[in-house]
Chain A
Amino acid sequence: MVQDVTTGFIQRLRTRDPQAWFELWEIFGPVLRAQFARWGKGRIGAETVQDLSQETMTALATAIDSHDPSRGVRFSTWLLAIAKYTLTDEFDRRMALKRGAGKKPMDLDHAYDQAGDEAPPDERYEGLIIGAKVEAALRSVERETEMMDFEVYRLRVLEGRQGKDVAISLGLSEAAVSRRLTKVRDRVRSNLGDVMARFSFTDEELEEASRKGLDANPNKASDALFDEAVAEVYQRYAQFRAELDRSTGV
C-alpha cells in the first residue's frame, strides 16, 4: 500500500513543483552519482557522473507521470531502474533520433516494467538510499531546531562525545545537554518517519527503518539504540560519499 505522504509527494512532483524536485535532487542526487561511479568502475569521470545523474532526474520527470503504485516496486528499485535506463540508453537514444536511423530508443515504461523482475539492488546501494534518507531527516531537523540544540545532538550522537565534554565545550549543564538531546532526538524520530514514508513505495520498504533500529515509535530503553543506529547510518553514508569523491577525483 502506498503511503499518503508518498502519494502527496508524487503529486507535487507530477505538478512540477520546483521545491519537490529540488528536494528529490538534493537527497538522492548523491546516491545516483555514487551508483553511476560504481557502475563506471573508475572509468567514468566526475563530470560524466554528474551529467548522468542530471539526465536521470529528467527521465524521472517523465516516469513520474506514469508511475503506478500497484506495481509494488520499491522506491529504491524504481530509482535504480531509471538510473540504469539513463545510463544504457540516453545517449544512444538521442543520437538515433537525431540521425533518424540506428537503434530504436528504449521505452522508459518498458525499463520501468522490468524493474520488478530484475535482481534486487545490492546492500551497498540500499545502504546509500537509507543513508540519504537519514541525512535528509537530519538536515530538516538542523533547519528546524535551534543551533545549540542541534550542536548538542551533533556532538553527542553523531560525533559520539561524552555528555560531560559536550556540556563543558558549549558552556551548558549536563542536565541541559540531556534535555536538548531528548528534544532533538524526538524531532529526528519524527522527521525520519516522514522522510521514510515519503520515499517508500511499499510497506516492506517502509518497515526497513525499524529493521535498521530507526524505529519511529520507540520506548525509553531504545533511545541509545536509536542514537547508535542514526550515527552508524550517517557515518557510513558520509564514508560512502567520501569514497565516491575520491574515486571520481572530484
Chain B
Amino acid sequence: MEPMSIPQPALLMSLHPVLAVVGVILASILGFVLLFWLIGALFKGVGWTFSMIGRLIGHLFECVRGIVVEAVRAVGALATAALLLPMAVLNVALGRWAASRHYVRSSGEELRASGASLYLAAIGWPLRLVGLGFMIDGFEDRVVDVVARAPRAEGADLEFEGYRVEATLPPGGSGAQLFLASPTEDHVARMAAQGVQLPSRVVIKAFGLQFGSSLPQMMRENRALEAARNMGLVFEHSSEGERFYYVMPYVPGDDLGVVTRRLHEDAGPEGLEGPALDAVVGYACSLVQIIGRFHEAGVWHKDIKPSNIVANGNQLELIDLGLVTPLASAMTLTTHGTEYYRDPDLVRQAMRGVKVHEVDGVKFDLYSAGAVVYSMIEDSFPAHGNLSRFTKRCPEALAWVVRRAMADASQRYGSAGEMLTDLAKVAAAPDPFAVRPADLPSMGGAAVELDAIPDRPLPPLRRAPRASTRTTPPPLPHQRRRIEHMERVSGRQRRKEAREAHRRARAQRASERPPSSRFAVASLGAVMLMFVFLGFFVVSMSSSSPFSEPMAVATPAPSRIDVSRDDLSNRVELRSGRSEAHAEGALFASAVAPGAEAESAHGPLVVLLTERPHELLDDAERTELDTVVAALGDHLGWRVVSESSDIDFADVDEESLLAEARAAALMKSVGDTSGEDRLQAWIDAGLGPDAVLWLGFDDRHKPTRHQLIASDVENDGRLVGRGPELARLTGLLR
C-alpha cells in the first residue's frame, strides 16, 4: 500500500525560497558577528598581552632604575659621610666641640641614609621586582622609627634620689629630659608613709642647665605642678642645685594617633562601625572625663591632641603637662598649642593680649576634645575647623557632639560634664547610629548614668600600623622654619622631599596593583623572612652606629611621652653660651659659627630689629646699622643678631629669630605699645632672645629712634635691665 502523501500547503510552498533566503541572511549576519567578535577578542587578547608585556617591561625598568638610584644614593651618602668625618676630627683638634658634634651627627645621618638606600637597592627593589614589595612596604621607615623611639641606656648614670634610672626616653622639645626609672624599696616605703603609692615604674622629667632647659620654661612647668600633684599626675618634685625634676606615672601604650590608624586600617575606607566605633566612643568619654578632672583641679591642659594622649587598654591618659595653665592665671594668654586642635579664637584672643583669667580655658580644652573625637572618626585632623565635613561613617548624634564642642565659644558645651553626658548617651546606646541629636540630654533627651555604659572590649586588630601614614599636623611655624633651614643647608630637605614624593608614588602604585597571590607568598615565605632579617640587620646596624644618634627635630616621630611642642632648648643654648647640651640643643649650637660662639659666649643675646626690613634700607642706613652692630658688640659685649650681621650661612637659627621678632613686632613703628607688648611677651615666654633692640632711622638716616625691650627674667646671672644698659645704649647711638 502506497503511503499516503500529505499535500503541502500552497502558501508554505510559496514562502520556502523566502525563508531560505532569510535563513541564509541571518546565518551570514550571525557568522559575521561571530567573526567580528572573534577578531575583537583576538585583538583584545593581543592588546592585553602587549599591555601586560609593556607593564612588565615598565615594572622591570622601574625596579632596575630604583636599584640603580638607591645604589648611587647609598654611594653618595657614604662619600658625604666620609667627607664630613675629617671635618669632625679637625674640629676636635681645634677644640670646637659643638662643631665637631654637628659634623659627627651629620655623618651619622648620612651613614643611616646610606644604609637605608643600600637596603632598598639590595632587598627592597628586588622584592618589588618579583611582586612581593608589599611585604616590606615601609619596612625601612618602620624599623628606623621603632629604633629611634626605643629607650636608650645613656641616661642610666644619672642619679635621682630614691630612683634607679633604667633608660632615657626620647626627649621632646620642651627643654626637658625624660627618664624611665624604678623607685627603690626604701623610697616606696617612705612615700607610702606620706600617703603616696609609687608604682614599679615611673617617668622622671628633669630640667637643668645641663639639659639645656631655660628658666622661663622651668617656671612654666612649675606653675602647674601643685595642681598636677593634687590630681595624682605627679608623685613628687625636687630642686637640686641647677636641676629640677618631677616624677610622673609611667603610662605604657600607644598614642591615640597610632591607635586610630590601626582601627581605620582594619575598618576600611567607609569608616568605623561595630566594636571599633564603640571603642572610639569609649575613648571620647574617657578623654572628656580626664579633661573634667583637670578643670576641677583649676587648670586647663591647653595642648590636647592625639599624640599627647596614650591609650592603655580601654582607658586614655593625657600626658605632657608642659602647657598646663591655671584657669585663674594672671599671665597673658599665649598662642601655644597645636594648629587644627587649637581653637582659632584662642589665637585671636591671644593677639588681643588678653589675660588667661579673662578667657574660659575650659572651653578651649573642649574644642580640642571635639577635634580629637573628629580625628578618631575621620582618621584626619579637622582642617576646616567646625566646618570640617564628616566623610566617613559617623553616628549623627556623635557628629552633633563634635560640632557643639567645636562651635563658637558662646554655644559650646559649658563644661566637660555637659559634654560627657551627651557622649554617655551615645556610648550607652546598643546602636549609636540610632541615636538622634534630638535624643541627647543637652537637647532635652533623657540622660543616662555613666555606669550604664557597657564595658565593651577593644576590637581585635589585624594589622600593625603603617609608620608612613601621618595624622599629626605639621610642626609649629618657628619649628618649621628651623627644620626647613637646617635641612636646606644640609641638602637633606631636597632628599627628604624626593623620598617623600617617591614614597607617595610607590604607595599610589601599590594601591593600584592587584594583590598578589597568597600562595606565592606562602611558598616564598621562608626566603622572604631571610631577606627581611637581613634588611633589619643592615638598617639596625646603621641606626645603632655611634654616629647615628637621631636628630629629634629633624625626624619627628610619634612618641608615648611626647613633649614636642616647644623648642626652647635650642634657644637656651645660645642664651647661655654653653657648648654642652642634649640632642636638640646641640643642633642649634652646631648652627652657630664656632668662632662667634667662642668670642661671645657671655654677653646677652640681643635681636636688633629695624623698623623696616633690611632690604628696604638705603645704603647710608645700612652703613649706620653695621656701625651700631659693631658698637654693641665691642662696647656692651652683646651678641647681636641682625640682618646686617656678617653671619655665616649656617646661622640659620638667627634667621628664624629675626623672622619671629619681625612677626612679633607686626611691622609696627618704634615706640608702638602693641608691638612692644608683643615683643615683651615673646621674650618673657622664653621663646626669643634676652632682649630686642628696636631701631628706627630719622630723616637724616641716623638711628636715633630706638627702644630696648628686655627680659625681666634673670638668665644665668646676666640681667639685661632697662636702666644702665639703656643709658649706655643711648649714648652709643648718639
* A interface residues with partner B (beta carbon < 8 Å): 16, 18-19, 21-22, 26, 30, 42-48, 50-51, 54, 58, 61-62, 91, 93-95, 97-99, 105, 135, 138-139, 142-143, 146-147, 151, 154, 158-159, 168-172, 238, 241-242, 245, 247, 249-250
How many chain B residues sit at the interface, stated as a range, is 35 or more
Instruction: For chain B, residues 325 to 366, give those with C-beta under 8 angstroms from any C-beta of chain A.
Output: 344, 347-348, 351-352
In the bound assembly, the distance between CA atoms of A98 and B649 in angstroms comes to 7
A169–B437 CB distance below 8 A: yes
Q: A22-B351, A151-B403, A171-B436 are in contact. Are A98 and B480 (CB under 8 A)?
A: no
Q: Of B400, B498, B668, which is within 8 A of A16 by CB?
A: B668
Sample 16 A-B pairs with CB under 8 A, ordered by A number. Answer: A16-B668, A18-B674, A42-B501, A42-B505, A45-B493, A45-B496, A47-B474, A47-B483, A48-B484, A50-B474, A91-B488, A94-B655, A135-B384, A151-B437, A169-B436, A245-B380
Q: Which residue of chain B has the shortest Cβ distance to A237 in the bound complex? A: B384
Residues of B within 8 A of A158 (CB): 389
Q: Of B386, B483, B647, which is within 8 A of A98 by CB?
A: B647
B347–A249 CB distance below 8 A: no
B444–A48 CB distance below 8 A: no
Closest CB pairs A-B (n = 8): A171-B438, A18-B351, A45-B497, A147-B411, A16-B666, A143-B408, A42-B501, A51-B484
Q: A16-B666, A51-B480 are in contact. Are A170 and B344 (CB under 8 A)?
A: no
**A-B interface pairs (CB < 8 A), number:** 116
Residue B407 at the chain A interface, CB threshold 8 Å: yes
Give the contact stretch, choosing among B108-116, B544-552, B590-598, B613-621.
Answer: B613-621
Residue B404 at the chain A interface, CB threshold 8 Å: yes
Question: Within the complex, what minimum Cβ distance (angstroms) separates B151 from chain A?
Answer: 28
In the bound assembly, the distance between CA atoms of A50 and B483 in angstroms comes to 12
In the bound assembly, the distance between CA atoms of A154 and B386 in angstroms comes to 11
A26–B667 CB distance below 8 A: no
The interface residues of chain B, by DSSP majority, are classed as helix
Question: Within the complex, what minimum Cβ distance (angstroms) separates A154 from chain B?
Answer: 8
Residues of B within 8 A of A48 (CB): 484, 493, 497
* B interface residues with partner A (beta carbon < 8 Å): 344, 347-348, 351-352, 380, 383-387, 389, 391, 396, 400, 403-404, 407-408, 411, 436-438, 443-444, 470, 473-475, 477, 480-481, 483-484, 488, 493, 496-498, 500-501, 504-505, 613-616, 643, 647, 649, 655, 659, 662-663, 666-668, 674-675
A97–B614 CB distance below 8 A: yes
In the bound assembly, the distance between CA atoms of A46 and B504 in angstroms comes to 13
B404–A249 CB distance below 8 A: no
Q: Of B385, B396, B480, which is within 8 A of A139 by CB?
A: B385
Q: Which residue of chain A has the shortest Cβ distance to B468 in the bound complex? A: A249
B480–A47 CB distance below 8 A: yes
Question: Which one of B404, B474, B483 has the highest number of Cβ atoms from chain A below 10 Å of its Cβ?
Answer: B474
Q: A241-B384, A250-B473 are in contact. Are A44 and B497 (CB under 8 A)?
A: yes
Question: Within the complex, what minimum Cβ distance (angstroms) separates B672 from chain A?
Answer: 8
Q: Of A169, A172, A249, which is within 8 A of B470 by CB?
A: A249
Residues of B within 8 A of A46 (CB): 474
Given A169-B436, A241-B384, A242-B383, 15 other A-B contacts at CB below 8 A? A18-B666, A22-B351, A30-B383, A43-B497, A45-B496, A46-B474, A47-B474, A47-B484, A50-B480, A61-B667, A147-B408, A168-B436, A170-B437, A250-B470, A250-B473
